[in-house]
Structure 1
């Protein structure tokens, strides 16, 4: 679950280091203050003996939305001068 614990609307996006193996749904969105969203993470079948899994992670990035912006995600919010916060979550596989 992703929760906006702050007092301003945020835009958020999720990235993975291995998009062929790891999936997230939804991959991005907008949250009002104190709002949350349930996020699902999926993993496709793979052969752990043949692939490097040591650096797999999910990264959540978020930033405050511009004042007056509609509640619709915009990638450009992350490309300007505003502060983008980031949380890296390492993946541990059950092998």
Structure 2
């Protein structure tokens, strides 16, 4: 057992003081895990529209709706979109990184379809976001969502006006 104030020696007989590191073993890099990422919950984001995305008929052509995401929090975040219907709905860009108070426009596209032949009642897009590790480059990394850091989600139903 380690005792406070004790000096320890490594195999080369050099003095070593006890230190604690957090490692993210879910990552392929085995780098020290950011304590900010794990301990500070991600701040809020603002989406415009705030509640749902609406596409208007006719649906024989592709429609594109623009959504704005604003990082309202005080930390850099990584975000990623998911959808319940990836054959019909696409986001561009599908993921990214936002600094505090930064905003981005996302194009949500709905491919042509026959609403009489396809179910539409469960369609939605979900934006997930998490704090990025301190010092990380402003380049999206999927690993941020797979570690111990908190991930927040916002579901936006899709409404189709027939």
Provide TM-score, normalisation by structure 2: 0.58
Which residue number corresponds to residue 2 of structure 1? Answer: 69
Give the alignment of 1:31-46 within 5 angstroms. Answer: 31-46=98-113
The list of structure 1 runs, each at least 4 consecutive aligned residues, that deviate by more than 6 angstroms after superposition, is none
The alpha-carbon deviation at position 52 of structure 1 amounts to: 1.1
Asked if 1:51 corresponds to 2:118, the answer is yes
Q: 2:138 aligns with which of 66, 71, 92?
A: 71
Q: What is the CA RMSD across the aligned residues, in angstroms? A: 0.6
Asked if 1:86 corresponds to 2:162, the answer is no
CA–CA distance in 2 between the matches of 1:10 and 1:84?
10
| 3-state SS of paired residue (1:76) | helix
CA–CA distance in 1 between the matches of 2:121 and 2:146?
29
Q: Which consecutive residues of structure 2, in runs of 5 or more, have no partner in the other structure?
A: 1-67
Provide TM-score, normalisation by structure 1: 0.97
**Bigger Rg, structure 1 or 2:** 2
Question: How many residues in Structure 1 have an aligned counterpart in Structure 2?
Answer: 95
